[in-house]
Amino acid sequence: MEYLSLTAAQQCILQHTLQLGVETIPLEHALRRVLAEEVYSNRDHPPYDVSAMDGYAVRAADLSCTPSELTVVEDIKAGAMPMMAVLPGQCARIMTGAPIPQGADTVIRVEDTQPVGNECVQILCSALYGTDIRSRGENLRNGELVLGCGTEITPGVLGILAMVKRTEVKVRTRPRVAILSSGDELEGLYAPFDSDKIPDANSYTLMAQVQALGIEPVLLGIAQDDPIELSRYLMRGLAYDVLLISGGTSVGVYDFVRPTIEALGIQMHFWRVAIRPGHPLAFGTTPTTRVFCLPGNPVSSMVCFEQFVLPALRDMMGHTRLFRRTITARISKPMKHRAGRTELIRVTLDADEQGYQATPTGAQGSGVLLSMARAEGLLLIPNECDGLHAGASVTVQLLEGAAYQQHSGIAEGI
C-alpha cells in the first residue's frame, strides 16, 4: 500500500479544497474572518494638521533665542476650531488632536514651557519646524486602498474598518464542519460511566481544534462498528462541507470506515501517510464535501488535524497563511529516528539566550493524550533523518496557546 509523504498529502488536500461563498456580516462579528472585498478610506484622517501633544502652537522662527516669550492668543481643544491666526510673537495653547491654527507651524510640549502670568508663556527650548504636528491624512488618505481582499480581520484591522465607518463587511463564509467518532468501545460524554469503555475524546479535541479556527462544528455522535449504522452517519455527514471521522480507518477486521466510504461513492485520494503518529489517514471528496478519515488514537487524531485539516479549513476560509508558524529550537537530548517517515514529537519550549530549547512532554505513545495536552509545539523529525544529536537544531510547529508565556519577557527596570 502506498504511503504519501506529509507534504505530498498536504498538497493533494489543498488541490481539492472547496471554494466557498461570501457573506455580509456586522462589523461586531467580523473578528478572525477574512475580507472578501477591497476597503478604501472614505476620509482624510486626521482631517487637518493637528497637534501631537498638549502644548503650544508656535511659529518656529520665533524661537531663535532661548528662552523666548510669546503671547498666548487662545486655547484650542480637540474637537474645536481655532478662532485666531498666530502672528509673529504669538502662540496658542493647544491640546492633543486639536487643529493647528493658521500661522503656526510647530508644537512645543507643555513640559518645555513656563507660563508667565495669564497671557504669556516662556518657551524653554528651540524646535525644528514642523515638530509634533500630525499632518492631514497621515493615518488614512481619502480614497486610498487600506485593506486588500484576503486580509484576516485582527483587532487592528477591525479598528481600521471602524475608522472607515464600515458597519457591515463582506467576508468569506466559513466551511460547515461535522465530526463523527466511530468504535463500539466508545462511551459518549453524556452516557453513563462504564469502566469497561473508552471515553470519546476525539469528538471534543476535534471540536476544540475546529473552534480555535473560529468555526462552530456539529458533533454527529458515535457510530458503532457496523457498516449499516456507519453508512447512515456518513450520509448525514455528507451534508456538510467538511466531514471529520475518527477511528475505524485502519485495516482491522472491524474497521468498516474504508469499505463503507467506498460503497458511498466518495472518491478517495489516499489512505496512508508516512507520519508518526497518525499514518492511517485518508482523504476523499464528493462534489460538495471534503472527507478526512483520522486515526482513532487521540494524539494521532489531533496531530493529523494540525497537519491536514487545519490548512484545508484555513484555505476554505480564504486565508493566505495556511500553516501553523514554525520556529527553530534546539533539543536537549539525542533522539532516535527511523528514516522513511516524518515524526512529530510533542514538546514544551523554553526561551534562553540562544533562542528556544524543545523538551518532549513525556511518553509519546499515540494514545497518551496528556502528551498533547501539555505540548506547546510539535517537533518535526524529517523523514530522511536517521536520528538527532543533543543540541541539534530542529523545526517546531507552534500549537494553539503557544502565543502566551508566563513572564512578560520585557527586560526593563520597574
Q: Which is nearer to Mg ion, 82 or 298 (CB)?
A: 298
Report the nearest approach of ligand AMP to the CB of residue 282 (Å).
11
Q: Is 186 in the site for ligand AMP (CB under 6 A)?
A: yes
Q: Which is nearer to Mg ion, 46 or 247 (CB)?
A: 247
In degrees and rounded to multiples of 5, residue 60 shows phi and psi of: -55, -30
Q: Per the omega criterion (within 30 degrees of 0), is the bond before 46 cis?
A: yes
Asked if 112 interacts with ligand AMP (CB under 6 A), we say no
Q: Per CB under 6 A, which region of 71-79, 136-144, 161-169, 199-207 contacts ligand AMP?
A: 199-207
Q: Is 377 in the site for ligand AMP (CB under 6 A)?
A: no
Of 292 and 356, the one with the shorter C-beta distance to Mg ion is 292
> Residue 247 contacts by C-beta under 8 Å, 6 or more apart in sequence?
181, 182, 183, 186, 202, 257, 294, 295, 296
Order of strands, sheet of 282-285, starting from the edge strand that comes earlier in the sequence: 218-223, 177-182, 242-246, 290-294, 282-285, 267-270
Rounded (10°) CA dihedral 102, 106, 107, 112 = -140
Comparison of 185 and 350: residue with beta carbon closer to ligand AMP: 185
Which of Mg ion, ligand AMP, none is residue 186 near (CB under 5 to 8 Å by kind)? ligand AMP
**CB 190, min distance to Mg ion, A:** 21
**Size of the residue set binding ligand AMP (CB under 6 A):** 20
The rounded distance, in Å, linking the Cα atoms of 269 and 262 is: 11
Instruction: Give min distance, CB of 190 to ligand AMP, in A.
Output: 14
**What is the spatial distance between Cα 87 and Cα 100, in angstroms, rounded to a whole number?**
13
Q: Which three cell numbers stand for residue 328?
A: 527553530
Buried b / exposed e along 282-311 (16+ C-beta atoms within 10 A): bbbbeeebbbbbbbbbbbbbbbbbbbbbbb
List the interface residues with ligand AMP, window 292-311 (CB under 6 A): 295-298
10 binds ligand AMP (CB under 6 A): no
Find the shortest distance in angstroms from Cβ 280 to Mg ion.
10
Q: Closest distance between ligand AMP and the C-beta of residue 242, in Å?
A: 17
Minimum CB distance to ligand AMP smaller for 196 or for 352? 196
- As separate numbers, helices (DSSP H) first and strands (DSSP E) second, the chain gives 8, 26
List the grid coordinates of 113: 514651557
Residues 203 to 222 in contact with ligand AMP, rule: CB under 6 A: 203
C-beta closer to ligand AMP: residue 127 or 186? 186
Least CB distance from residue 274 to ligand AMP, whole Å? 17
- 199: which residues sit within 8 A by CB, 6+ positions away? 186, 187, 189
Looking at residues 237 to 266 of the shown chain, list those that interact with Mg ion (rule: CB under 5 A).
247-248
CA dihedral 234, 238, 240, 245 (to 10 degrees): 40
Within 147-186, the residues that bind Mg ion by CB under 5 A are 183
The residue among 82 and 280 lying less far from Mg ion, judged by its C-beta, is 280
CA distances from 131 to 52, 96, 106, 336 (A): 9, 13, 5, 62
Task: Name the segment binding ligand AMP (CB under 6 A); options: 143-151, 162-170, 240-248, 258-266.
Answer: 240-248
Q: Write down the least CB distance from residue 251 to ligand AMP, Å.
A: 9
Residue 68, binding choice from ligand AMP, Mg ion, none, Cβ under 5 to 8 Å by partner class: none
- Does residue 295 interact with Mg ion by CB under 5 A? no
Determine, following the binding rule CB under 6 A, whether residue 248 of this chain makes contact with ligand AMP. Answer: yes
Phi, psi of 309 (to 5 degrees): -80, -45
DSSP code per residue over 233-259: HHHHHTTSSEEEEESS-SSSTT--HHH
Q: Is 247 in the site for ligand AMP (CB under 6 A)?
A: yes
Of the pair 55, 295, the CB lying nearest ligand AMP is at 295
Which listed residue (44, 112, 152, 185) binds ligand AMP by CB under 6 A? 185
Could you list the beta-strand ranges (E) of 43-185: 50-51, 55-58, 68-76, 90-94, 106-109, 113-116, 120-123, 133-134, 145-147, 168-172, 177-182
For binding to Mg ion (CB under 5 A), which residues are involved? 183, 247-248
Binding region for ligand AMP (CB under 6 A): 181, 183, 185-186, 198, 200-203, 246-250, 252, 255, 295-298
